[in-house]
Every structure is written in structure tokens, then in C-alpha cells.
Amino acid sequence: MAPCDFFLFPRLKLPLRGKHFETIEAIKENSQKELKAIPKSAYKKCFEDWKTRWHMCIACDGDYFEGNKINIDE
């Protein structure tokens, strides 16, 4: 359920895939550049979706679920 796993890491990995960096500093600079390129609205949607998943998890009593077919209003 962690946003880093389903939102942040894929957004960082795709643009950096296949690139080789000479220094740790170059890795940091390029990673920060990619992070800053993600619109604020995408972060906001990520956390709104995360909140929805919390409610789905609660509605399922912590059991496994897939998709958005769970009615969290019940």
C-alpha cells in the first residue's frame, strides 16, 4: 500500500532506465530533476488514491482485494 511502491519508484525508474551515471552526485541530480518534473497534481492524486485504498482495506477487514469493486460506503 505504500505510495513509493506503486507511484514514486515507477515514475523515477522509467526515465532513468538504461542511463549510466559517473558519480553518486549525478544520480542525485538526475533523480531530483525527475522528481521535480512530476506535477503536484499527480502527487495529490496519489495520496487521494492511497486514502481510498485504506478504506478498501478496512472494508475487507485487511483481507486481500483487487481492483476498485469494493463498496467502501457500506
pLDDT tens sequence across 18-53 = 999 999 999 999 999 999 999 999 999 988 888 888
Looking at residue 49, what DSSP letter applies?
H
pLDDT for residue 5 is more than 70: yes
Cα 9 from Cα 11, distance rounded (Å): 5
Please, what is the Cα angle at 14 between 57 and 56, to 5 degrees?
10
- Over 80: is that where the pLDDT of 1 sits? no
Q: How confident is the model at residue 69 (pLDDT cuts 50, 70, 90)?
A: low
